[in-house]
Amino acid sequence: MEKFTAFIKQQGYTDIECAILNLFYHSEQSTHTFFEIRKITGLPKNILNRSLNHLIKINELTFIKNETSRKRLFSIHKNAVLRTKIAHFSVSY
């Protein structure tokens, strides 16, 4: 896991973004709500919100609004650049 975190940091992500991306890439579930991410990472709302918005803006995460439950869901974007790099990292590791 430490090598994985170091690999993500080498790609230019902040410590907070690394924590969020680690959650998504090492979790068995494909989507997380804002509150799940906040509970697991322990980050304040404003910092977490800013980091999630940045990850959405650069297409690493995607935002899904569930109208029935009114929850905000986040998942790894299907065209995420990091997803491809991690696949190569996993093969070489």
Give the model confidence (pLDDT) of 48-70 as tens digits.
999 999 999 998 899 988 777 77
Q: Which amino acid is at 27?
A: S
pLDDT of residue 88: 60
- Of 14 and 25, the structure prediction assigns the larger pLDDT to 14
Write down the H helix ranges in the chain: 2-10, 15-26, 34-41, 45-57, 81-92
Domain count for the chain? 1
Q: What is the pTM of this model?
A: 0.78
pLDDT of residue 55: 92
CATH code, 19: 1.10.10.10
* Distance between CA atoms of residues 4 and 86, nearest Å: 8
Residue 68 belongs to what domain range? Answer: 2-92
